[in-house]
Amino acid sequence: MSRLLGGTLERVCKAVLLLCLLHFLVAVILYFDVYAQHLAFFSRFSARGTARALHPAASSSTNCSRPNTTAPSSGLAEAPSVRPGSTAPILPPCPDSPPGLVGRLLIEFTSPMPLERVQRENPGVLLGGRYTPPDCTPAQTVAVIIPFRHREHHLRYWLHYLHPILRRQRLRYGIYVINQHGEDTFNRAKLLNVGFLEALKEDATYDCFIFSDVDLVPMDDRNLYHCGDQPRHFAIAVDKFGFRLPYAGYFGGVSGLSKAQFLRINGFPNEYWGWGGEDDDIFNRISLSGMKISRPDIRIGRYRMIKHDRDKHNEPNPQRFTKIQNTILTMKQDGIGSVRYQVLEVSRQPLFTNITVDIGRPPSWPPRG
């Protein structure tokens, strides 16, 4: 009987001992679990404090600015942000046929066109009329040169239509308005020579030059404003001429030459004061230099002209026909190498760079008849 009672007491003691051991193990497990949770909590709190110390603006609930972003404009891709000290991303080459072109455009000159509106429509254009595509690397840097005087009304329409066109064409470009000072006879070709030289002074990387009258607006954005292997004539179908080329040697309105091509023909003639003749002289220079003029398809090279009254100081040059016949004799002496002028003012506007110049006075013509 005593042996049976002793065996029962031994089993009860073992059971109690096991129960105590189990309780101890559970307590140890719970202790370490709570300790781990507290450690994680304080680690997170410490990390937040460090982040706030390093970037106080980022932790503020009232400051939601993103300093390294650029505002997208007209559906173009946003430029990738670059952190200070990091390497700028390498962008792919711009496509030869940009995907965002519209094609045939509706061009009208009746709606009011204040410069403030044009500026709002082109937020990606920098001061001076400079623009670079944010999503690709263009093959050329294009300077658009406009001979100018007393055509502010035309300029607003030109900027309104051309900036979006050039941006859709993925061009790296700058707009230069070469303003002739004074009221003497206008000299378009000499102003174009001045524009070529002054644009290169601002940016020596320009390798393509588009020479455009301020009253001509393209009606199709597939007429790409870039330079090729040959000088290019863009405005081949103007509404003024019934959307056809007026004659085979016509090279007026809007044309483009690379830097090498322009220097090869010694630029444009400087002695065509008044209306007419300089375009034919340029055509002769290109032919004498062994180059041929390229043109877009006539359906793409359509332009609308803004109607205006002819400037009374832009009368026809009475000696233009004689000069055209002597291009082979005057080409080497009269051109970019002999142009003389004085820059009076350079003003970088939000949409273009205005360069006012004094190009001198025309010679006294002998009386007619």
Residues classed as catalytic: 213, 215, 275, 278-279, 305, 308, 310
Q: Pull the structure tokens for residue 34.
A: 């709570």
In DSSP notation, 29-68 reads HHHHHHHHHHHHHHHHHHHHHHHHHH-TTTT-TT----TT
Q: In what order do the strands lie in the sheet with 254-258?
A: 232-233, 254-258, 208-212, 141-148, 172-180, 353-358, 342-348
CB atoms near residue 330 (< 10 Å): 18
Give Cβ neighbours of residue 354 (< 8 Å, ≥ 6 apart): 177, 179, 345, 346, 347, 348
Q: Give the CA count within 13 Å in the CB-facing half-sphere of 65.
A: 6
Give CA separation, 180 vs 205, 279, 357, in Å.
25, 19, 5
Q: Pull the structure tokens for residue 192.
A: 């174009």
